[in-house]
Homo-oligomer: A and B are copies of this chain.
Amino acid sequence: MTEITPGFDFAVSIDCVLFGFDGTELKILLIERNEEPFKDWWALPGNLVDHDESVDQSAQRILKELTGLSDIYMEQYYAFGDVNRHPQGRVISVAYYAMLRLGGDKPLKPLSSYAKKAQWVNVASLPKLAFDHQNILNKGLEKIKRRIKHLPLAFELLPEKFTLTQVQSVYELILGKKLDKRNFRKKILSFKVLKELEEKQRGVSFRAATLYKFDKRKYNKLFGKEISF
């Protein structure tokens, strides 16, 4: 931080890695661009930061414009600042991730003209992405791999009521490996942040599993104690 004279010819953008879980697969939200550069390419949803909004506010605005959702917890995880990452000028991009509850009522709001459409895409089978977005996404994946070991990210991805098997699936997808069912349940229950409901899963063609809820209140009380997978 020094003299001010030279700079002020940068743009700053936000790119969002929005994770979703459809019950089986880990997805991210991509848009198909309708403008140059990279017209017709798939890209992470993003936008330029306005002059009078903070970077965090900008991330919230962009999320809302795309999905209609507000009050979603987004976490900034890295700033991408290579000289040639944007073909039309010097653009620094600040990347955020968020975990969204898919399923049911995802509007995917009317998009601004810059995108033809938005779509949830399986993380395991992505198209080629515009700009350095593959790179941004990879770093995002790395981050949540680390953070899901300490933070209750999985529950943001799941519906309000969920089964333990679903929780396990989320961990397995993000960590990229199978976990032992009995040990997983023992561990996740040992944190005492899940509340067992009277209710069972419905609409499945086999034995219905017990539903659980994430108890935010109890989680907040853990404070300091480390959750660790």
**A residues engaging B (CB < 8 A)?**
1-4, 6-13, 15, 35, 43-44, 46-56, 58, 76, 78-83, 86, 88-94, 112, 114, 130-131, 133
Contacts and interface: CB of A to CB of B under 8 A. Distances in A.
Contact of A76 (B78, B82, B90): B78
A66 to B, nearest CB: 11
A56 to B, nearest CB: 7
A220 B7 CA distance: 39
Which secondary structure dominates chain A's binding surface? loop
B50 A6 contact: yes
A91 B1 contact: yes
Contacts of A47: 1-2
B86 A1 contact: yes
- How many copies are assembled? 2
Contacts of A81: 12, 49, 54-56, 58, 94
A35 B90 CA distance: 27
A8 B11 CA distance: 4
Contacts of A91: 1, 4, 7
B35 A1 contact: no
A82 B13 CA distance: 14
Most B C-beta atoms less than 10 A away, residue of A11, A35, A91: A11
B51 A92 contact: no
Given A1-B131, A46-B2, A92-B92, A51 B13 contact: no
A93 B1 contact: yes
Contacts of A55: 79-82, 92
Contact of A10 (B11, B80, B82, B88): B11
